[in-house]
Amino acid sequence: MTQSTPLQLIDSFNRRIDYVRLSVTDRCDFRCTYCMAEEMTFLPRSKVLSLEEIARIARVFVQLGVAKLRVTGGEPLVRRDVTTLFQELGSLRSEDGLKELAVTTNGSQLVRFAPALRAAGVTTLNVSLDTLDAARFRALTRTGTLEDVIAGIDAAREQDFPRIRINAVVLRGSNEGDIRPLLDFALNRGLDIAFIEEMPLGQVNLAGKPLEYLPSDTILSEVKQHYNLNSEATPEHSGPARYWRVDGSSSRMGLISPHSNNFCASCNRLRVTAEGQLLLCLGNEHSISLRDLLRDGASDFELSSAIVAALNDKPEQHVFDQPDQPQIMRFMNASGG
């Protein structure tokens, strides 16, 4: 590859990559049962990318044609000085370049951060909320307080983000009774909501019985008993969620179904972990270390070339439903969902 060859993010299955998820920390103030073990060992700080390194990687991806960046974690808003990163990323936005700057957060810090995120140019907020029952919320997150998250969501609503979506992981025998209250919560506030099938990553629950995802079809039947859904609405940006508009409201209800509706054929995304591993697929281990390249003095062209070359190893699809073992040993907080 020479400097004159135009570099493009197209993988060997002809999928164009225009969406990158950046995990800015593996740390979190919650310990959600489906995401982390109760006792976690986090990365030493020297292994985590600096905010400047993350911003540089983001810039290289935008030069390669990435139109959407999502900042995630762990909990991105617990990373010190993260606002400066959002300002850097916001400055990459342009009509024909980076169009969408998104954040996925547990909402615990949003009261403090919502104005700064909006001012920096964040367009899309996903806030995770699995239940409206305070005790169940505490049990699911192990350390979280429901009222802080609701206050955070309401603080964000005052900032006029173009789009706010609630993310709810639904587990059989745990929060399946929350589907309707959560949908009402979203509708009353004019927010979108996505219900997610739990994915078996990491050994999250060594002591207890295995977590069991609730299939999206079961959720859809339950929702249809109480609401009229208009035919599937097209998302603005292709992604794994299938959306329906809820009749008489501005809200959309989405389903993310890694088990029951494999969306790999239209996969348009890559992930960068907090330690700078470029993950080619959430459900596989293929990766390269961008951190090593950066710290060995790679130029932007060398970084871009390494990313383009790595795309040859992007797997065709994930396989989650293996008996006995989670196929992937990394926890979800390492990859950012």
Residues forming the site for ligand SF4 (CB under 6 A): 28, 30-32, 35-36, 73-75, 106, 128, 332-333
CB atoms within 10 A of CB 325: 9
Binding partner of residue 283 among ligand SAM, ligand SF4, none, CB cut-off 5 to 8 Å per kind = none
Rule CB under 6 A: is residue 26 a binding residue for ligand SAM? no
Residue 332: CB minimum distance to ligand SF4, A: 6
Position closest to ligand SAM via CB: 337
Question: Of the candidates 58, 164, 183, 196, which one interacts with ligand SAM according to CB under 6 A?
Answer: 196
Q: How far is CA 334 from the centre of its chain?
A: 11
Q: β-strand 192-197 against 163-170: which pairing, if any?
A: parallel
- Pick the piece of the chain touching ligand SAM (CB under 6 A) from 49-57, 80-88, 194-202, 300-308: 194-202
CA dihedral 18, 19, 25, 29 (to 10 degrees): 170
Q: Buried b vs exposed e over 175-200: b needs ≥16 C-beta within 10 Å?
A: beebbeebbebbbebebbbbbbbbbb
Closer CB to ligand SF4, 110 or 246, in the complex: 110
Binding partner of residue 122 among ligand SAM, ligand SF4, none, CB cut-off 5 to 8 Å per kind = none
Question: Of the candidates 9, 24, 51, 199, which one interacts with ligand SAM according to CB under 6 A?
Answer: 199
Among 91, 49, 97, 100, residue whose Cα is nearest residue 73: 49
Write down how long the chain is: 337
Site residues (CB under 6 A) for ligand SAM, limited to 37-76: 72-75
Residue 103 near residue 70, CB atoms below 8 Å: yes
Rule CB under 6 A: is residue 35 a binding residue for ligand SAM? yes
- CA-CA distance, 247 to 245, in Å (whole number)? 6
- The CA–CA distances, whole Å, from 235 to 153, 240, 302 equal 22, 9, 34
Rule CB under 6 A: is residue 241 a binding residue for ligand SAM? no
Site residues (CB under 6 A) for ligand SAM, limited to 139-168: 167
Rule CB under 6 A: is residue 272 a binding residue for ligand SAM? no
- CA-CA distance, 107 to 274, in Å (whole number)? 19
Closer CB to ligand SF4, 106 or 131, in the complex: 106
The residue ranges that bind ligand SAM (CB under 6 A) are 28, 34-35, 72-75, 104-106, 128, 167, 169, 196, 198-199, 201, 332-333, 336-337
